[in-house]
Amino acid sequence: MDYKTHLKSIRKEGEQIVNSLNDLPTFTLRKSKKIKTETLLNLFPNLKPTNIIDDTYFYLEKDELGKSVFHLAGYYYIQDLSAQMVVHNLNIQENDYVLDMCASPGGKTIQANNYASLIIANEINRTRAITLKQNIERIGVKNVIVLNNNINDLLNKFTSFFDKVILDAPCSGEAMIRKSPEMRDDWSLEKIKRLNIIQKELIIQAYQMVKDGGYISYSTCSFELTENEDIVQHLLDNTACELINQKTYFPFEFSGEGQFIALIKVNKNNNFCPLKRKKVKRITETKIIFDWFLKYVNEPLNSLEYLDGYYYTGSNFNYELDNLNVLSNGIEIGKIEKGIFFPSFA
C-alpha cells in the first residue's frame, strides 16, 4: 500500500491531505538576534511576515536563502512554519530549564532560546548531533548545552528536573513528502510500526524527566493516528498526566508542511533529581593571551568553560555533567595553541 491510499483509508481528511501534497510547498525563516528587522528586509525585499509568529517570514524558493552568506553568518534560521508552532504553543518562561530530546537540526532549540533560561539539546545520532552543534554556533546561542547521548544516559542525570520537555519524535515524516522525495521513498507501514515502539518509549522517558507541574510538548511531522494521538494516549494510560490540548496543522488549511502537537501537563509526587552541583573552576592562566578578545565579545573571563581543547562562554549551568558526552556548553570562543589564541567560527 502506498502512502496516498493509506492516508485516505485512515483519516477523514485523507483526500485533502493527499491533494495538498501536490501543491507547491511554503518556505519560512526566522530572524535571529544578530540582525535588525529593517536590515533583513532591506537585504531581502521579497520577505513577507507570517503574522503568526514574531520575526518569522515567508520567502520565495527561487531566492535560495539557504545558500546566502547571511544564512552562514547566522542572521536567520530556515524552518517550516508549522514546526515553529511547537515552541510557540509551549509558553516557555524566562526561568525555565528546557530539554529538547531529539534536537537536530536545531530549529526548536534555537527558537526556545528566545525564552528559556537554559536549553539542553540532545541528539543520539553523532552525525546529526554535530549538525545541531554547528547550527547553534551559527546563530550564536549562548544558553544551550549540546549533548550526544542515548536517553537512558539522560535519565540517570535528569530525573524530574526540567520545567518543559520538547519531544519532536522520529516519525514517518509524511508532512515532509512534498519537499523531500527521500521521505516519500522511505515511507512504509513497517517503518511506522517500528517507530511506534520508539515513540512510546520516548514519551514515557520524557515524563520521567519533567518535574511535577511541568509540561511535555509531543510532536511529529506525521499524519498517522498511531504516531500521534495513540502515543499521547499511551502516556495518559500509564501516568497521571493531563492532556491540555492537541492539534494537527494540516497543509491544506495552514501555511506549512504539517505538524501534530500535543501539550501535556505532568503530575507526579516524586521530584527527586540526582544532579550534583559542580565546583567552580576559575580560568586565570590564559588571561593575558585572549583577555583582549573577551572584551571585544563582552564576556568576563570567569564565565568560561574548558572542553576538549576549546574555551566556551559558559551556559551558567551549575550542575555536573560528568559521564555525559557534551559537544558544546554555550558558545565556542576558541582555542590556544603555542601561546596563540585562535577564535572559533561561532
> Which of the residues are catalytic?
221
Q: What does the alpha-carbon distance between residue 226 and residue 237 come to, in Å, rounded to a whole number?
A: 15
Q: What does the alpha-carbon distance between residue 327 and residue 23 come to, in Å, rounded to a whole number?
A: 39
Phi-psi category of residue 239: left, alpha or beta, with phi > 0 → left and psi -120 to 50 → alpha: beta
β-pairing, 242-249 vs 259-265, is antiparallel
Residues 6 or more apart whose CB falls under 8 angstroms from that of 256 comprise 26, 28, 80, 81, 82, 83, 85, 249
Burial of 268 (0-12, 13-18, 19+ CB in 10 A): middle
Q: What does the alpha-carbon distance between residue 100 and residue 115 come to, in Å, rounded to a whole number?
A: 14
Residues 6 or more apart whose CB falls under 8 angstroms from that of 341 comprise 286, 289, 290, 293, 334, 335
**Closest-CA residue to 97 (of 325, 317, 343, 335):** 317
Q: Residues 280, 308: contact at Cβ < 8 Å?
A: no
Say what the alpha-carbon torsion angle 94, 96, 101, 102 is, to the nearest 10 degrees: 0
Q: What does the alpha-carbon distance between residue 150 and residue 248 come to, in Å, rounded to a whole number?
A: 28
- Distances in Å between the Cα of 136 and the Cα atoms of 41, 133, 280, 297, 333 are 23, 5, 25, 17, 13
The distance from CA 212 to its chain's CA centroid, rounded to whole angstroms, is 22
* H or E stretch at 215: strand 210-220
Q: What does the alpha-carbon distance between residue 187 and residue 173 come to, in Å, rounded to a whole number?
A: 8
